[in-house]
A = this chain, B = another copy of it.
Amino acid sequence: MGNYLFKLAALTTTALLLQACGGDAQTAAGGAAEPQQTYEWKLVTTWPKNFPALGRAPELLAEKVEAMSNGRMKIRVYGDGELVPALEVFDAVSAGTAEIGHGAAYYWKGKVPEAQFFSVLPFGMNGQEMQAWIQYGGGMELWEELYVPFNLIPMSSGSTGVQMGGWFNKEINSKEDFRGLKMRIPGLAQDILSRLGGVPVNMPGSELFTALQTGVLDATEWVGPYNDLAFGLYEIADYYYYPGWHEPGAIIEFTFNKQKFEALPADLQEILRTAVEAVALGMTNEFLARNALSLQELEENHGVVPRQFPEDLLHELNTIAQEEIDKLADLSPMGARIHQSYREFEASMSEYQDVSEEAYTRARKL
């Protein structure tokens, strides 16, 4: 709480200065903070403009910040490709081309492989557990430290919840069916697919429909029913699988250019941080509510019948996933520290869930 007290003290000082000057807010501010200065910021995203939930979150951030700051800060949101391509968001915010980015940490695995911990790991923690780890389990501090060399401050924009397993042009009965399969899949699941002889492809969401339609891809996962419906993937794939073992609750990330953020007055910094947390709650809730309705629509209007991956395949994928997760500890000293924090929190969750959420889920089905 020391940080809060410091900020409050700074704010009080500013308020006293303003009073002493007879309320002339335009000229009264002393020091670095200029409370009445206005800011026009750019926010670049890895999704199409106004895409359901994912694209809505940054718009909601912009609306909240403008309203709370009484118009002192305006944020303009750019969709994938409007200012920079989706997969250049990290670099663009790092360089200050835009002040804020919106994406997912595993998109940057080529540059920062340790970042994968802060999106989602195959057969790892679910969305609730990830959010608890990040905010109250030490995850946030490690994530911030990891991004310092890139001049970025990361923040969680909430979770997609468990995703779906993806759209396939053939049945998946065993791990042999992944051999030679060209599949869009992000993060550590790429390494798992490679071990099975598949061909993982890195591709932003906006290109998936065409790639699947033209045979560039044999399969793709995207998010869940809400987002998958929006891209019309049901039109061109025969099989829709669950569960999303590869993404049991992806965390979406905001990135802030560190210098730009730290140059803001304390109240605007707090407005941004609080707005991000509110957006994170809303996005998580929106996904759960809308995924359920979209699943009904896929089934009733588009004849989609979700299939479960075979249990023995899931068990094999889990075994490989745990091996790949443990390899992340060998990446760097930072990788080892994050791995330890993740694994310890995961273990405490596993024990607690057995008497709480999972116990209740079992009980209500009795």
Residues on A facing B (Cβ under 8 Å): 1, 4, 7-8, 11-12, 14-15, 18, 22-27, 35-36, 63-64, 66-71, 123, 126, 128-129, 131-137, 158, 161-162, 164, 224-225, 242-245, 248, 266-267, 270-271, 274-275, 277-278, 280-282, 284-286, 288-293, 295-296, 306, 308-309, 311, 314-315, 318, 345, 348-349, 351-353, 355-364, 366
Contact = CB atoms under 8 A, between A and B. Distances in A.
A357 B311 contact: no
Count the copies: 2
9 contacts: A11-B70, A15-B71, A23-B25, A68-B68, A128-B128, A136-B286, A164-B355, A292-B349, A314-B366
Given A15-B71, A162-B357, A242-B356, 9 more contacts: A128-B288, A136-B282, A136-B288, A274-B274, A274-B278, A280-B281, A288-B352, A311-B363, A314-B363
Overall SS of chain A's interface: helix
B356 A162 contact: yes
Nearest to A265: B70
A126 B357 contact: yes
A348 B7 contact: no
Contacts of A308: 355, 359
Contacts of A129: 288
A295 B68 CA distance: 39
Contacts of A11: 66-67, 70-71
A161 B132 CA distance: 12
Contact of A318 (B66, B266, B364): B364
A243 B132 contact: no
A357 B278 contact: no
A245 B363 contact: yes
Contacts of A349: 288, 292
Q: Which of A64, A277, A309 has the most CB of B within 10 A?
A: A277
Contacts of A36: 23, 25
